[in-house]
Amino acid sequence: MIFETHAHYDDEKFDEDRVELLSHLLKENNIGKIINVGASFRGCKESLKLAESYDNVYASLGIHPEEIEDFSEENLQWIKANASNPKVVAIGEIGLDYYWIKDEEGRKKQRIWFKKQLELAKEVKLPVIIHSRDAAEDTLNTIVEYNTEDNKGIIHCYSYSKEIALEYVKMGWFIGVGGVVTFKNAKKLVETVQAVPIENIVLETDCPYMAPVPHRGERNTSIYLKYVAEKIAELKNISIEDVERITYENALRIYSKVKER
C-alpha cells in the first residue's frame, strides 16, 4: 500500500471523476491513505470537506506563499479553530516562493505569513508541509530557527541540493519525492534520493500536477505513484515493496494523527 502525502483533489481538474477516484479507484490501485493539501483558503475548506467525506482522506490546512494576497488574521483563526478536527493532520502548504515574486516587499510579506503559520503549527501541535522554490537559504534559516524535537515537517516537491536535504534530515525532517524524480533532467533530485536515507523520504504527487514518466504532462493522480516508487527502488537498490512499506511508515510517523493502517 502507498501513502500519498500530498494531493490536491479539490482542484477543478478532478471535477469529472473526483467521487470515483476517492470512493474506490485509488483504493483499488493500492493507494492506502491520502493527505489533501490546502493551498488557498478556499482549498483549505474544500480539503476539510473531502476529509470529512472519505475515510482514508485527511486534510492539511495552510496558505501557499503565492496565495497570501487575500489572506487575513481571520482566515488564520479559522485554520486554528479547525486544527483540532481529528481529520486535520498538518499545517500546509506554507513556505516561500521567490520564483514569481521578485520584489523585496512581496517576499517580506511571504516571510511574515510563513512564520505566523509555523507558530500556529507549534501551538496546535501539528507537523508542517513546506513549499519552497528559489528560496533555499531563507527557508532553511527559518526552519532551523523553528525546529524543535516536537516540531517537524516535510519539504514538499524537494528541488534543492543533496547537501541542503541532508541538513533537513539531520533535524529529523522528511523529503517529499514525486514525479520529477522520473524526469530525464532530474539529476539533482536523483542525487538527493541516493543521498537521503529511505527513512526520511515520503511519496507525493502534488496532483493534478507533476505526473511522472510515462505520463509526464498529463493530469496526475495518486495511481501514478507506482512509477515514483519504482524509480526510488531502482536508485536505492531495494524492492518496490520495501519502498512502499518504509515510506508508508515514514508518513505515519510524521502525520501522527493518522493512526491505523
Residues that bind Zn ion (CB under 5 A): 206
Q: By Cβ distance, which residue is nearest to Zn ion?
A: 206
Closest-CA residue to 64 (of 105, 33, 99, 88): 99
Q: How far is the CB of 20 from Zn ion (least distance, A)?
A: 22
Query: Closest CB to Zn ion among 67 and 206?
Result: 206
Q: How far is the CB of 234 from Zn ion (least distance, A)?
A: 25
Q: How far is CA 15 from CA 19, 40, 51, 63, in A?
A: 8, 17, 16, 22
Query: Closest CB to Zn ion among 10 and 206?
Result: 206
Is the four-CA dihedral 179, 182, 184, 190 of positive or negative sign? positive
Q: How far is the CB of 152 from Zn ion (least distance, A)?
A: 18
**Residue 127 Ramachandran class (φ > 0 left, ψ -120 to 50 alpha, else beta):** beta
Determine the 3-state secondary structure of 2 from DSSP. strand
Query: Closest CB to Zn ion among 12 and 245?
Result: 12
Is the four-CA dihedral 244, 245, 246, 248 of positive or negative sign? positive
Q: How far is the CB of 58 from Zn ion (least distance, A)?
A: 15
- Give the Cα separation of 138 and 108 in Å (integer): 11
Query: Closest CB to Zn ion among 47 and 200?
Result: 47
Q: How far is the CB of 37 from Zn ion (least distance, A)?
A: 5
Query: Closest CB to Zn ion among 69 and 149?
Result: 69
Determine the 3-state secondary structure of 56 from DSSP. coil
Is the four-CA dihedral 6, 10, 11, 13 of positive or negative sign? positive
Query: Closest CB to Zn ion among 206 and 244?
Result: 206
Q: Which residue has the cell 473531502?
A: 50
Q: How far is the CB of 242 from Zn ion (least distance, A)?
A: 26
Determine the 3-state secondary structure of 38 from DSSP. coil
Q: How far is the CB of 199 from Zn ion (least distance, A)?
A: 23
Query: Closest CB to Zn ion among 97 and 206?
Result: 206
Q: Give the burial class of 240: count Cβ atoms within 10 A of its Cβ; 0-12 exposed, 13-18 middle, 19 or more buried.
A: middle
